[in-house]
Amino acid sequence: MYEGWRWMTARREFSRARASDPDILTDFVVPRDLLAEPSQINGTFFTYTRLVSGNAGDPAKFTATKATAAEYPALLGQSVSFARLVFGAGTVNPPHIHPRASELLLVVQGALFVGLVDAARNGTLHTATLQAGDMFVFPKGMVHFQSNNSTVVARAFSAFGSAIPGTISLPTELFETGIDDPVLEKSFRTDQATVDALKHDLQKAPAPAPPQNSADGALVGARLAAVMLCVGTAFSLVL
């Protein structure tokens, strides 16, 4: 009896950890709180209106407005989701990973410098400068970033191949989760002072000053590319 209970408990715990969207046996998933209210499943249930109106975006910062299963329950099990990205002048969407989805980015205003780390090719960094109307795909699980190196606001939309794509921010996960400093020093081949400086800067999180000219924008892009190469090298050592 005890063994059977333990097996059922382990099965329930395992089911909570998913590497991808579940395969559903119905056309769509009805949230538990609506099962007793079938009349509530109407056009409103399948509609989401807050992707743009819910967050106008601060033109001095980077902001992301999501439409995933958490915000939009009708997406559960549908393997799609969306996000609206607003980039203030000189701002960055830091290097990050979506563990459960590829991302298709469409620039609709301004220009973005983007890149991804190809871990399968020894951490090769692939970059591009996108103009309005251009698209770029970030394969699932690859480290990537977007940067607005200009003096004007840039806007983009991202489509994801999962209702729960997830986002793992590398700066946050590496320097704000309590990993021992000696581990970070050895991993990045740096010293305690540098690790302390990075943690301090991340805690302050000041709004970056916009580039003053195109040369400054190019310098920001070059620095970010250099950081991504370091990240790519680190990843290639463990993959």
* Domain total in the chain: 1
The H-or-E segment that residue 144 falls in is: strand 144-147
Which range marks the domain in which residue 49 is found?
24-238
If 0-12 CB within 10 Å is exposed, 13-18 middle and 19+ buried, where does residue 64 land?
A: middle
* CA-wise closest residue to 59 among 129, 145, 154, 150: 154
| pTM reported for the whole predicted model | 0.74
Sequence-ordered list of residues with C-beta below 8 angstroms from that of 135, at least 6 positions apart, any chain: 104, 105, 106, 107
In a domain, 17, yes or no: no
Q: Would residue 231 count as lying in a domain?
A: yes
Number of H helices, E strands in the chain: 6, 10
Please give the angle made by the CA atoms of 86, 88 and 94, to the nearest 5 degrees.
75
pLDDT value of position 16: 53
Give the torsion through C-alpha atoms of 42, 46, 51, 53, to 10 deg. -10
Average pLDDT for 198-208: 67
Is 125 inside any structural domain?
yes
Phi, psi of 189 (to 5 degrees): 50, 50
Task: Judge whether 12 lies within some domain.
Answer: no
Proportion of the chain above pLDDT 90, given as a percent: 51
Looking at the chain, the whole-number percentage of residues with pLDDT higher than 70 is 74
Choose from 18-32, 48-62, 102-116, 201-215 the range with maximum mean pLDDT: 102-116
DSSP 35: T
Of 103, 43, 46, nearest to 78 by C-alpha is 46
Closest CA to 167 of 238, 86, 72, 68: 68
Looking at every residue in the chain, the average pLDDT score rounds to 80
CB of 77 closer than 8 Å to CB of 31: no
146 burial type by CB count under 10 A (0-12 exposed, 13-18 middle, 19+ buried): buried
The CATH number of the domain holding residue 84 is 2.60.120.10
* Element of type H or E holding 221: helix 214-238
pLDDT one-digit tens code per residue, 15-55: 455 667 878 888 888 887 777 677 888 999 999 999 987 66
